[in-house]
Chains A and B, each alone.
Chain A
Amino acid sequence: EDQVTQSPEALRLQEGESSSLNCSYTVSGLRGLFWYRQDPGKGPEFLFTLYSAGEEKEKERLKATLTKKESFLHITAPKPEDSATYLCAVQAGGSGYALNFGKGTSLLVTP
């Protein structure tokens, strides 16, 4: 059975304190790994898609990387506006087109 595990569940950072969020997965036939940001009371907002091990993508202070077993979302010099829940999801060949989500990491960046 496909599994997606995110860690830590919650993370508190000082503004400017860089860190990484982890998404480990067990799927048969990974088609794509997706990162979303979700603000309270809103729907998930798309950040990145990664398709193969070794791939990296960047957007502003965020950088996503992918290996055969896990993905990292690196946050460099975060600002308070980066506070949100970050969701990781996978699409697997044996599971149709549905996204299988982890529980998310709740990030709080304090001034």
Chain B
Amino acid sequence: GAGVSQTPSNKVTEKGKYVELRCDPISGHTALYWYRQSLGQGPEFLIYFQGTGAADDSGLPNDRFFAVRPEGSVSTLKIQRTERGDSAVYLCASSFQGSWETQYFGPGTRLLVL
């Protein structure tokens, strides 16, 4: 079946603007994760959803970052008052039930804040 999809693939915005990044997980996967990857680094964890609820948001860097998953499928990562330091690739992953399972990643959204 289809893998994890993310839109948009690229996003350019200006400092101070608001952005939304979307993730559509693999069908039937109840667990969804957001990571952020800077150039030359490995992905860094942001937030984990089990169903509709955020089970672990310990990786969100500050209160400008927020994520939702209202129906337990598609998730949106929201960034307010963007800063140049927010420029990175935002990756979404999903797994069947969470727990100690393989996470399958989407292609990412490349965010550039000018």
Contacts and interface: CB of A to CB of B under 8 A. Distances in A.
Q: Determine if chain A interacts with chain B.
A: yes
A99 B100 contact: no
Interface in B12-60: 31, 33, 35, 40-45, 48, 55-56, 58-59
Nearest to B31: A97
B45 A103 contact: no
A25 interface: no
Contacts, number: 62
Contacts of B95: 97
Contacts of A69: none
B interface, how many residues as a size bin?
Answer: 20 to 34
Nearest to A36: B105
> Main SS of the interface on chain B?
loop
Nearest to A106: B40
B104 interface: yes
A69 B101 CA distance: 21
Interface string B95-106: 100111011111
A43 interface: yes
A44 interface: yes
Given A46-B104, A103-B41, 9 more contacts: A46-B105, A89-B43, A96-B48, A96-B58, A97-B55, A97-B99, A99-B35, A99-B103, A101-B42
19 contacts: A32-B100, A34-B102, A34-B103, A42-B108, A43-B106, A45-B105, A46-B102, A89-B42, A89-B43, A91-B100, A96-B48, A96-B56, A98-B33, A98-B48, A98-B56, A99-B33, A99-B45, A102-B42, A103-B40
